[in-house]
């Protein structure tokens, strides 16, 4: 009996010893020592589960990495987004890494909708010098490199174009305001004589640009459209607020220097040719010029007058010929 008792005692002691040896709190409380009953990571779990090179990554300090359940759920949803596991093999795409093959990269881009080339048509209200072909080539290349889909590309371009439209509208509104103010200042100053002054300004332009080649004239004043209106140069919208002031300046010059009234008031080549022809006829009508009496006169002053007229006549003919041979401005 004592032996049995001893045996029983020994058995008990052994059991107690075993229990003592394995009485880790995590065992008694249903945990592993790095994961508690709620599935939260505890203790030095990173050292137990993570390779040293990734332990410092911020991801493992996020809410996803605080609990086994949320981490597994996150992993499941990530895999579901990229593809499905079927019979142990993954169907779908893999996010490219530095080690990915070109085929894997192409498969990933195809799966997220990245085209080889974007489709883009420049809207009619977007000027070609604003959305240039060079700008679009570079833009499409860079957006394609960051894997934008066609829909995302369309959204980016829509944002850009609407911003351009807003800038242009703001600019036009400001120009219209400045132009209206400039015209009002002139109207307040000159009243009903403003139209007369505008005619004087046109006279100045006609006289001052008689010998200009058409290309130079168009660079400053723009080209005539089918309605006879000029666009470009000083007639471009961005200079609208300056035109009334320039015309007022030209008119003041004409008034001060009393330029000949025979100058044409229009600015076309034909009107300039006509003006030169009128001047030529007026010059040739000088008594004694055409019949040679001035040239053969015994009066030295008459003969000098003849040579002066001859010189002016030659210059008028040259100018007339140049304009007739020139392209229409």
Distance from C-alpha of 243 to C-alpha of 184, rounded to nearest angstrom: 13
Lowest mean pLDDT among 29-43, 75-89, 309-323: 75-89
Cβ atoms of residues 205 and 243 within 8 Å: no
Q: What is the DSSP letter of 192?
A: G
Q: What is the mean pLDDT of the chain?
A: 76
The predicted-structure confidence for 114-141, as pLDDT tens digits, reads as follows: 988 999 999 988 888 889 999 999 999 9
Is 163 exposed, middle or buried (CB count within 10 Å of its CB: 0-12, 13-18, 19+)? Answer: exposed
Query: Cβ neighbours of residue 294 under 8 Å, at least 6 residues apart?
Result: 286, 288, 302, 303, 305, 306, 309
Q: For 67, phi and psi rounded to 5 degrees?
A: -145, 140
Helices marked H in the chain: 2-21, 25-28, 45-49, 68-82, 102-111, 133-145, 150-190, 194-208, 214-221, 243-257, 269-284, 293-296, 300-325
Per-residue pLDDT reduced to its tens digit, 313-323: 887 787 777 66
The count of other CB atoms within 10 Å of the CB of residue 272 is 25
Q: How confident is the model at residue 159 (pLDDT cuts 50, 70, 90)?
A: very high
23 or 287: which carries more pLDDT confidence?
A: 287
């Amino acid at each position: 009996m004592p032996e049995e008792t001893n045996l029983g005692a020994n058995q008990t002691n052994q059991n107690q010893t075993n229990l003592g040896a394995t009485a880790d709190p995590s065992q008694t409380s249903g945990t592993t020592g790095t994961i508690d009953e709620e599935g939260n990571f505890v203790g030095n779990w990173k050292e137990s589960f993570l390779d040293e090179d990734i332990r410092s990554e911020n991801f493992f300090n996020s809410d996803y990495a605080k609990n086994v359940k949320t981490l597994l759920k996150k992993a499941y949803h990530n895999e579901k987004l990229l593809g499905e596991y079927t019979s142990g093999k993954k169907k779908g795409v893999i996010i490219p890494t530095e080690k990915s093959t070109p085929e894997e990269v192409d498969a990933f881009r195809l799966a997220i909708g990245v085209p080889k080339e974007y489709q883009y048509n420049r809207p009619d209200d977007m000027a070609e010098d604003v959305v240039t072909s060079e700008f679009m080539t570079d833009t499409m290349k860079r957006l394609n490199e960051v894997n934008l889909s066609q829909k995302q590309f369309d959204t980016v371009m829509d944002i850009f174009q609407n911003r351009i439209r807003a800038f242009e509208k703001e600019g036009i509104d400001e120009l219209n305001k400045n132009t209206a103010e400039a015209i009002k200042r002139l109207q307040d100053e000159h009243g009903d004589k403003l139209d007369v002054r505008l005619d004087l300004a046109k006279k100045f332009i006609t006289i001052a640009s008689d010998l200009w080649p058409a290309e130079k004239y168009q660079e400053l004043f723009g080209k005539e459209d089918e309605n006879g209106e000029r666009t470009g140069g000083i007639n471009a919208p961005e200079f609208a607020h300056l035109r009334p002031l320039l015309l007022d300046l030209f008119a003041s010059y004409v008034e001060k220097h009393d330029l000949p009234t025979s100058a044409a008031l229009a600015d076309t080549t034909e009107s300039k040719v006509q003006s030169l022809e009128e001047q030529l006829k007026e010059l040739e009508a000088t008594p004694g010029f055409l019949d040679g009496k001035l040239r053969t006169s015994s009066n030295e002053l008459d003969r000098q007058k003849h040579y002066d007229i001859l010189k002016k006549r030659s210059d008028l003919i040259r100018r007339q010929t140049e304009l007739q041979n020139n392209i229409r401005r």
